[in-house]
Structure 1
């Protein structure tokens, strides 16, 4: 049996940021005017600024972030760049039709390729690796789900081909005894924090003003647009973009549109050559388990194993307190699932354990749109945001500029956005649904 996760050397330190020399820049201390003010310095806000600058270099753009730009959800992601919109492709097809689902899948698939081109063009050292990943099944029910997903994806004319593997074929790719089947699909892996900071450096070099340690206290309508009030100054802007991810629920009008749900990960010490030789993993693809509360794993550039996912945690009142970063029950469950997949690595130690919040919507798809004239928003990636936020930046660029394009006609733009019920109904409902799903998964 594997060891329990006790007293890791860097407990609650985010792996991607541990040892980084990146520090938050100075806050805004003097009031400024601009054409577009973007609130939120994660992937959505940074990509929006990038595409606006590419489209209209004359625009005066400023970005505000309450802490370290790229340091929240964007900089704690597991680094999978996947062709995923929301959580459930079958649900999207049922709700919006095949044509709408196909258009969304194609658009996010393009973003995977374009992120790679961006890192090469701007020499961003984010360890972008264009490679397939495996969606794996450990039960017959999961294998059936894989086949349905493969058939549906193929019928939509997906940009990335999917290949179904039986147990023997799958274990030639990743030699885990737990894997019973898999589909291989296109994607990439990346160091998410390095990508975010590289994107930040790029837009700063292009003249975008970014103010870190600058929370937006109020956004008020004015005769010429909006006034964003910060602790020490204000920003007057013609248009404002709200791009605060899991913090979106703190903004007026979005309280019940999004939930901050905790997701967790562990990262091992560097694996020795002897440990690596115990397992067949020739192409170093990432793996994602095909179940509701998935687990995922991937190797890093320095031969560590990242293992994340498990039971999603939502706390009453949308609690995002720092004390939730470390949840020993979650890490015990993650270690248990790791041992099930990789019993040959019983001696692997995990040096980093941490959590962060992802933005979950009620219909499990992202949403972009116009809250009021000149006030735009984007949120709700449901844990699949690296490629989707790149697409979101392009969507928001078009919305800011008032352009009618194929991107602004995607089904999740200015569409219906179902709300969660008020508390404590949301907390009770999420807890009941989570326990039911967990029970059903254990029976399969």
Structure 2
């Protein structure tokens, strides 16, 4: 079968956002508003910030503004992998913060527990399943690396289960799998858009005023507080929390730390009982392969397979453009890879194909800070692991605005910044060379060339 035929009827829209339960967008702000805390951004970062602010102090007057609709960007387009890791995985965390890795693991696990508890407390119907995730090896050298990772994890009190070829194929059957590493408890699967919509409802029930189609266009001091401009009015607030992530920050000095990288995904039609039987996958774990240029894949509640990743497209100058949300050449590449992984599913068709921008920073995990003498806080740079870590980022921003010394604000991870990206054309050239080198490593048993080794030494270990 020509893989292109599987894409013939694929709609160029995110599957998650077409859910029939999608709520109507709220009204735009018209006129002036006053509040204690203004949250800018209606993705996970902003929604968790508003919700946790009200949980900490129910009397706090909170307003949230979103430029389009709540959950329309990365929060409604991702794969729905909700991980406990705050550091983009074990290796990245140990390489950057070895002295506080145990604390970061503990905080990450508590954060994931907090998400699960909030989903239950606010009756958020987002198909939350704590299934865990299996990193699969498709080459022998990758399996060797997974076993070494399990040994390293065990030395730091993290339990990961090594699966040999037969064991991993008993979980999910692909002729390409030669082994796996199963994190049984550290990852949950969920419907990303439903989580965002549920958080919006929970915020409103606690008294947060949510304005959609209200883009924040300017930020300035106003007496002892801040003023934020919007197209039809202004908002005066004692404090402002910025959850704009991949979009240009209202604090301009933050912009050099983040670049957009476009990621793409496909969604199959619902699988029949026979098709599901051909691949197993009874425990519904999330999966990701172990190459540098990797795929992530999972089952949905209605028995579809989401298949994404591999290509990571950086636009010259870091310019965001909605036209880049579609990329047929990547869709075709992903379809070919899908049928190579699951040849027993030949004939399955894709119903949706989409893309979107991820806020990427050079250390692969979020960074934090304040501006305007502590009146403004920000969190950004989640690099694809924001479904879970944004709740932690929200707590950090609220701690910083309160001027509190907490176990979070004491972390070097919170107190430090990643290396900023260089200006063009250096950023374009560097990212391009890195992508080429990662692909070359995948073709050469994982051997990293001089460029990647240099990046590793500089703390810019582009490993995903």
TM class by shorter chain equals over 0.9
Could you say what secondary structure the match of 2:413 adopts? coil
Alignment-derived partner of residue 67 in structure 1: 68
Q: Deviations over 1:196-229 (max 9, x none)?
A: 1101100111001111100011001122111100
Does structure 1 retain, via aligned residues, the 8 Å contact 2:221–2:372?
A: no
Deviation at 1:5, TM superposition (A): 5.4
Does structure 1 retain, via aligned residues, the 8 Å contact 2:136–2:290?
A: yes
Alignment-derived partner of residue 386 in structure 2: 385
Q: Deviations over 1:362-418 (max 9, x none)?
A: 122210121332110001111011111111112222222221111122232131331
- Relative distance call for 1:5 and 1:119 in structure 2 (3 A) is farther
Alignment-derived partner of residue 460 in structure 2: none
Alignment-derived partner of residue 341 in structure 2: 341
Per mean C-alpha deviation after superposition, the further-off stretch among 419-428 and 81-90 is: 81-90
Say whether residues 1:431 and 2:432 are aligned partners.
yes
Q: Distance between the aligned counterparts of 2:5 and 2:228, measured in 1?
A: 44
Deviation at 1:108, TM superposition (A): 1.6
- Relative distance call for 1:262 and 1:251 in structure 2 (3 A) is farther
Does structure 2 retain, via aligned residues, the 8 Å contact 1:111–1:387?
A: yes
Does structure 2 retain, via aligned residues, the 8 Å contact 1:5–1:335?
A: no
Alignment of 1:177-196 (within 5 A): 177-185=175-183, 186=185, 187-196=187-196
Say whether residues 1:231 and 2:236 are aligned partners.
no
Alignment of 1:276-287 (within 5 A): 276-287=276-287
Q: Distance between the aligned counterparts of 1:93 and 1:78, measured in 2?
A: 25
Alignment-derived partner of residue 89 in structure 1: 90
Say whether residues 1:114 and 2:104 are aligned partners.
no
Could you say what secondary structure the match of 1:265 adopts? strand
Does structure 2 retain, via aligned residues, the 8 Å contact 1:257–1:419?
A: yes
Q: Distance between the aligned counterparts of 1:395 and 1:69, measured in 2?
A: 22
Say whether residues 1:151 and 2:121 are aligned partners.
no
Does structure 2 retain, via aligned residues, the 8 Å contact 1:2–1:343?
A: no
Alignment of 1:27-66 (within 5 A): 27-66=28-67
Deviation at 1:255, TM superposition (A): 2.2
Q: Distance between the aligned counterparts of 1:197 and 1:300, measured in 2?
A: 18
Deviation at 1:107, TM superposition (A): 1.3
- Relative distance call for 1:86 and 1:260 in structure 2 (3 A) is farther
Alignment-derived partner of residue 26 in structure 2: 25
Alignment-derived partner of residue 408 in structure 2: 407
Q: Count residues in correspondence.
A: 441
Runs of 4+ more than 6 Å apart = none
- Relative distance call for 1:91 and 1:131 in structure 2 (3 A) is closer
Q: Distance between the aligned counterparts of 2:168 and 2:256, measured in 1?
A: 42
Q: Distance between the aligned counterparts of 1:222 and 1:19, measured in 2?
A: 41
Q: Deviations over 1:336-383 (max 9, x none)?
A: 221121010111100100001111101222101213321100011110
Q: Deviations over 1:264-306 (max 9, x none)?
A: 1000011112211222222121111122222011110111110
- Root mean square deviation of aligned Cα: 1.6
Could you say what secondary structure the match of 2:36 adopts? strand
Deviation at 1:154, TM superposition (A): 2.3
Q: Deviations over 1:5-59 (max 9, x none)?
A: 5654342111001143323211100201111111111111111111111111111
Q: Distance between the aligned counterparts of 2:168 and 2:372, measured in 1?
A: 50
Q: Distance between the aligned counterparts of 1:234 and 1:131, measured in 2?
A: 44
Per mean C-alpha deviation after superposition, the further-off stretch among 430-439 and 147-156 is: 147-156
Q: Distance between the aligned counterparts of 2:239 and 2:279, measured in 1?
A: 53
Question: Which residues of structure 2 form unaligned runs of 5+?
Answer: 446-464
- Relative distance call for 1:312 and 1:95 in structure 2 (3 A) is same
Does structure 2 retain, via aligned residues, the 8 Å contact 1:83–1:109?
A: yes
Q: Distance between the aligned counterparts of 1:198 and 1:361, measured in 2?
A: 28
Q: Distance between the aligned counterparts of 1:388 and 1:246, measured in 2?
A: 15
Deviation at 1:88, TM superposition (A): 5.2
- Relative distance call for 1:180 and 1:2 in structure 2 (3 A) is farther
